[in-house]
Chain A
Amino acid sequence: MASVEQIRAWIEVAKNKNYYEILRLQLTASDGEIKAAFHQFALRFHPDRLVDDGDDTIEVASELFKRGVEAYNVLCKHDLRKRYDGELRKGRIRMDIDKMDSAPPPLPQRTLEMIAKTPQGKKYAAKADRFLSIGKLEEARVQLQGAFQCEPGNHELEERIQIIYEALALEPG
């Protein structure tokens, strides 16, 4: 069986391959050919086929197998395949994958102002909220620290400060 490195390399290559190529099919492949090709793919890369090769191999092979499943899942259904063929003509090799139109999840976030409890703390926190909303992390941090000094026992505020510190650490410069 292929080595872990080989499979890793194939995963990289598969990223630039369309579904037909991943399963090694012609664009004109029949349903039967698609099924047979998927079975062949599965016989090589299904993790259960690699129990002899250790956990590392199983893990990377799973990654590759999932790409085969993605391809098969589209190609074996007539309507999806037709749509995919259209996408392919536009140069998109993965179905729906680049979509970002997913509606944003409902806002669970409590504002800092809501977290702060004392009137003075709320003032600082509200300022911090405004700075955060325009992406000014350092300024927000200063305000938030002010709020925390007003109410040192507020752990939620402390957590938020920590998050901002982490974010600042990631910022370039």
Chain B
Amino acid sequence: MGVAVGIDLGTSNTVVAVVRDGRAVTLADENGSRLIPSIVSFHPNGSVLVGESARERRLNDPTNTIYSVKRLIGRSWASDEVQQARGRFPFELREGAKNSTLVVARGETYALPEMSAFVLRRAKAIAEKALGETVDRAVVTVPANFNDLQRASTKVAGKLAGLEVLRILNEPTAAALAYGQTTNQNERLAVYDLGGGTFDITLLDLSGNVFEVLATAGDTALGGDDIDLVIADIMADQIVRTHRFDPRVDVIEFAKLRIYAEKLKLLLSTQPEATIEIEDLGMGEGGKPVTITFKMTREDLDRETEGMIDRTLDVCRFAIETVNLDVANIDRVILVGGPTRMPLVQRKTREFFAKSPALKVNPDEVVALGAAIQAHVLDRGRSKKGVAAKIAPVIVDSPASESLPRISAQASPPATPKQEPPSPPARAPSDAPEEATATYNRPPPRAPTPAQAAPPPLPPAAAVVPTRIVALGGIFPPASPVPPPPVPPPAAPVAAPRSPTLQPGFDDVLDLPKPEEISFSRGAPQLTFGTGAIPAKPQRPPIAFPTAPDIEPPKPAPPLRRPPSAAEAFAAAPIVHEPPPAPRMAAPLLIDVTPLSLRVETVGGFCDVLIAANTAVPCDRTRVFLTAADGQTTVIIRVAQGESNKFPENTFLGELELTGLTPAPRGETQIGVTFEIDADGILNVKAKDVKSGRQTQARLQLLGAQTDPKDVEEMMKRQAQHAVL
């Protein structure tokens, strides 16, 4: 069994990270680059290029170079997003079976999950090379606001890439998890995540080692891409004025402009104005290609994109209101995603939340780091059983890493290839985000050095005061029509307030800089995680997150053969009303939520909520359906996700088909349908005949999803035909 990694599968860039020696680190490719452009290019020789090499081909092979797939994955052909993309992207999209969307490259059609799978395969390969071990499991992140179809498709992509997907994790939650490792205060966080194609706001409560998501909201069609588009539009307007040619009529030329627009956007994040040369712009039929100089000031950009950023703030306001909070209740704001480097975004969020964002996170890498931590947590069980420990030690040729802690760790070359001398980290192209080196000046207080690797001592047993409320079940029989007045159970122990036990020497890192100091320039206090060399320790790291002091129930009587009496059962479980002050490094527990309400269609185009948005997952809800006609043997229930009471205004997921019902007069057959949203945020359905208790066949036919085993098998075969470079 191999290693479990965390992968941030982004719209623009993908990052892979792993926990080693108790530290989450992002992994670099052979050029030292930690951001893998999520771009797939189909080379004439049959190989598939992913990443930087594919990005270079965006200009010279635009029709076979596929990008921003994440904006389309899990969306049906008829959706607005897909139809818009058809006019925007230089590569061809085509309608597939079941209203799905296909990509065409070099004459072959591919389902969207296959494109993501190519990117994941590259991430996997980079991780395997860097670690010198097989990588076969991963936590893959998605925007919090992704719906069931988008999540299910992403999971399929993982499978196609040869990865067991341990969890589909929400990006902002992952970011919070990574951030949470740097503090042990109880805080209420807002994660503002503006990615390449999506925007999410997630509110969380951190208390002890529990990360409880309170609410999440977002816009899956708003991101850095759209800002590029705004700039490209302005460029096109200028070209219309100066050259009387509108590049927008030519998808390929306009796609070129967007690439230049992105470069310009990055420049304007660090300088007040920028000039860019647009080379070799085609001028339509008979026109000679020209080179155009385009100048833009940050002020111009701010003015043009302010509306978009205001939209994100509206979403923030909505999220805060849904949980009856006020901006003042937010203790800390974390900015995630490349576009949050834009000074406008930083200014606007600072004004909105009335506080400066936390700077300790690298907005490009924090999500992958969080995913790696979650992968480590979820993988613990298996590694404990010793399977992973059997893996032969790997030669990690990195002598420098012997001496933890490292000071300003350089992005080291990958571990295994010995033929290449450890070259200084080649800088990725100039428009790549800045260097991702760890720049802390002192050892991270939490990273256990080999000597300290033992788990911290458990809190004294006295901290856990199991109190039994033995009598409760008997006092308050549930079925009694008129419950007696509540008898207060024995007073609950009130735990002492958590003492702020900040590690010495940590405070200054936590301190917020003054507003004017806010920048993400190199050398600014960045990440408290290493992003440098892989520590040389080849064997499985000491468990980084010692188990929290478990609340061990007193061993009850012999195995129960009958349902125990209420008193017995509840007596068996201890109660602790306040968590003991556990160190945060105890395995964090994420309680995430489903971002969208799950609805079923009722009469007249309306719908009922089965599971409300922001309900913790996993969760379920059972609903009884009656047959509407005599002798009816099939029932079809239409399912959607969204926040509108009108069924068609939500995202239609598909039809649930219940078949093989016993023919009976109408209304006599009752089918109990249990809708479950699992920890991945994916919908599962079970149905049962209420009277006979017999399982009913329930088939969820998802719209446009390419998740049927048969489809997956076919995609698997296609994956095998292509080597990913």
Which residues from chain A sit less than 8 Å from chain B, CB to CB? 1-3, 5-6, 9-10, 12-13, 16-18, 21, 24, 26-28, 33, 35-40, 42-44, 46-49, 51-54, 62, 65-66, 69-70, 72-73, 78, 88-91, 93, 97, 99-100, 102-109, 129, 132-135, 137, 140, 160, 163-164, 166-167, 170
Smallest beta-carbon distance A50→chain B, Å: 8
CB-based contact A48/B563 at 8 Å = no
Q: Mark contacts of B544-584 with chain A using CB atoms, 8 A cut-off: 1 yes-contact digit, 0 otherwise.
A: 00001011110010011001101001101101111100000
Residues of B within 8 A of A160 (CB): 633
Residues of A within 8 A of B572 (CB): 2, 6, 10
CB-based contact A106/B628 at 8 Å = yes
Contact flag A51-B478 (CB < 8 Å), given A9-B563, A102-B625, A109-B632: no
CB-based contact B577/A33 at 8 Å = yes
Could you show 16 A-B contacts with beta carbons less than 8 Å apart? A5-B560, A6-B556, A10-B572, A35-B207, A48-B589, A48-B679, A49-B589, A51-B381, A73-B615, A91-B480, A91-B482, A93-B479, A104-B627, A133-B666, A135-B668, A140-B631
Contact flag A105-B569 (CB < 8 Å), given A46-B591, A48-B378, A170-B694: no
Q: Mark contacts of B663-680 with chain A using CB atoms, 8 A cut-off: 1 yes-contact digit, 0 otherwise.
A: 111111010000010110
CB-based contact A91/B663 at 8 Å = no
Q: Mark contacts of B464-479 with chain A using CB atoms, 8 A cut-off: 1 yes-contact digit, 0 otherwise.
A: 0000010011001011
Contact flag A102-B575 (CB < 8 Å), given A3-B559, A21-B478, A108-B634: no
Tell me the nearest residue of chain B to A49, going by C-beta.
Answer: B589
Task: Say yes or no for B612: interface residue by CB 8 A criterion.
Answer: yes
Q: Complex: how many Å from CA A41 to CA B551? A: 11
Smallest beta-carbon distance B305→chain A, Å: 36
CB-based contact A28/B486 at 8 Å = yes
Of B76-84, B245-253, B340-348, B616-624, which stretch is located at the interface?
A: B616-624
Q: Complex: how many Å from CA A28 to CA B210? A: 24
Task: Say yes or no for B722: interface residue by CB 8 A criterion.
Answer: no
Smallest beta-carbon distance B664→chain A, Å: 6
Residues of B within 8 A of A9 (CB): 560, 563-564, 569
CB-based contact A18/B573 at 8 Å = no
Q: Contacting A10 at CB < 8 Å: which of B569, B628, B664?
A: B569
Q: Complex: how many Å from CA A18 to CA B618? A: 20
Q: Mark contacts of B627-657 with chain A using CB atoms, 8 A cut-off: 1 yes-contact digit, 0 otherwise.
A: 1111111111110000000000000000000
Residues of B within 8 A of A133 (CB): 630-631, 665-666
Tell me the nearest residue of chain B to A29, going by C-beta.
Answer: B492
Residues of B within 8 A of A10 (CB): 569, 572-573
Contact flag A13-B633 (CB < 8 Å), given A37-B577, A73-B615, A100-B624: no
Task: Say yes or no for B488: interface residue by CB 8 A criterion.
Answer: yes
Residues of A within 8 A of B486 (CB): 26-28
Q: Complex: how many Å from CA A99 to CA B623? A: 8
Q: Complex: how many Å from CA A78 to CA B666? A: 39
Task: Say yes or no for B443: interface residue by CB 8 A criterion.
Answer: no
CB-based contact A164/B616 at 8 Å = no
Q: Mark contacts of B590-620 with chain A using CB atoms, 8 A cut-off: 1 yes-contact digit, 0 otherwise.
A: 1100000000111100001000100111111
Task: Say yes or no for B377: interface residue by CB 8 A criterion.
Answer: yes
Which residues from chain B sit less than 8 Å from chain A, CB to CB? 205, 207-208, 210, 212, 324, 377-382, 384, 469, 472-473, 476, 478-483, 486, 488-489, 492, 548, 550-553, 556, 559-560, 563-564, 566, 569-570, 572-573, 575-579, 587, 589-591, 600-603, 608, 612, 615-638, 660-668, 670, 676, 678-679, 692, 694
Q: Complex: how many Å from CA A42 to CA B593? A: 13
CB-based contact B578/A21 at 8 Å = no
Tell me the nearest residue of chain B to A39, going by C-beta.
Answer: B210
CB-based contact A21/B476 at 8 Å = yes
Tell me the nearest residue of chain A to B577, going by C-beta.
Answer: A36
Q: Contacting A5 at CB < 8 Å: which of B469, B559, B603?
A: B559
Residues of A within 8 A of B626 (CB): 100, 102, 104
Residues of B within 8 A of A39 (CB): 207-208, 210, 212, 579, 591
CB-based contact A69/B492 at 8 Å = no
Residues of B within 8 A of A36 (CB): 577-579
Additional A-B contact list (15), CB under 8 Å, known A21-B478, A36-B579, A166-B662: A21-B570, A26-B489, A43-B589, A49-B587, A73-B619, A88-B483, A91-B480, A99-B623, A102-B600, A102-B602, A133-B630, A134-B630, A134-B665, A163-B663, A170-B692
Q: Contacting A43 at CB < 8 Å: which of B478, B479, B548, B564?
A: B548
CB-based contact A46/B589 at 8 Å = yes
Pairs of residues from A and B, 10 with the lowest C-beta to C-beta distance, nearest first: A132-B631, A133-B630, A104-B628, A51-B381, A52-B381, A27-B486, A12-B563, A13-B569, A167-B662, A91-B481
CB-based contact A105/B663 at 8 Å = no
CB-based contact B576/A107 at 8 Å = no
A-B CB contacts (within 8 Å), total count:
212
Residues of B within 8 A of A69 (CB): 615-619
Contact flag A97-B637 (CB < 8 Å), given A10-B573, A48-B590, A102-B608: no
Contact flag A33-B481 (CB < 8 Å), given A52-B380, A163-B633, A163-B660: no
Residues of A within 8 A of B587 (CB): 49
Residues of B within 8 A of A97 (CB): 622
Smallest beta-carbon distance A18→chain B, Å: 5
Tell me the nearest residue of chain A to B618, going by C-beta.
Answer: A62
CB-based contact B670/A18 at 8 Å = no
Smallest beta-carbon distance B379→chain A, Å: 8
Contact flag A43-B563 (CB < 8 Å), given A21-B472, A69-B615, A134-B665: no
Q: Complex: how many Å from CA A158 to CA B486? A: 60
Q: Contacting B381 at CB < 8 Å: which of A53, A72, A90, A167?
A: A53
Residues of B within 8 A of A5 (CB): 559-560
Residues of A within 8 A of B207 (CB): 35, 39
Residues of A within 8 A of B473 (CB): 13, 17, 21
Smallest beta-carbon distance A6→chain B, Å: 7
Q: Complex: how many Å from CA A36 to CA B377? A: 22
Residues of B within 8 A of A27 (CB): 486
Smallest beta-carbon distance A51→chain B, Å: 4
CB-based contact A1/B563 at 8 Å = no
Tell me the nearest residue of chain A to B550, going by C-beta.
Answer: A1
Residues of B within 8 A of A89 (CB): 482-483
Smallest beta-carbon distance B569→chain A, Å: 4
CB-based contact A107/B628 at 8 Å = yes
Smallest beta-carbon distance B680→chain A, Å: 11
Smallest beta-carbon distance A78→chain B, Å: 8
Q: Complex: how many Å from CA A140 to CA B662? A: 13
Q: Complex: how many Å from CA A35 to CA B578? A: 10
Residues of B within 8 A of A17 (CB): 473, 478, 566
Residues of B within 8 A of A100 (CB): 624, 626, 670
Tell me the nearest residue of chain A to B633, going by C-beta.
Answer: A163
Residues of B within 8 A of A12 (CB): 563
Smallest beta-carbon distance B542→chain A, Å: 16
Residues of A within 8 A of B553 (CB): 2, 6
Tell me the nearest residue of chain A to B617, going by C-beta.
Answer: A69
Tell me the nearest residue of chain A to B384, going by C-beta.
Answer: A52
Residues of B within 8 A of A24 (CB): 469, 472, 570, 573, 575
Residues of A within 8 A of B666 (CB): 104, 133
Q: Complex: how many Å from CA A54 to CA B694? A: 28
Of A10, A17, A104, A166, most B-chain CB atoms within 10 Å: A104
Q: Complex: how many Å from CA A116 to CA B550? A: 65
Q: Complex: how many Å from CA A108 to CA B589? A: 44
Smallest beta-carbon distance A24→chain B, Å: 5
Q: Complex: how many Å from CA A89 to CA B479? A: 10
Residues of B within 8 A of A48 (CB): 377-378, 589-590, 679
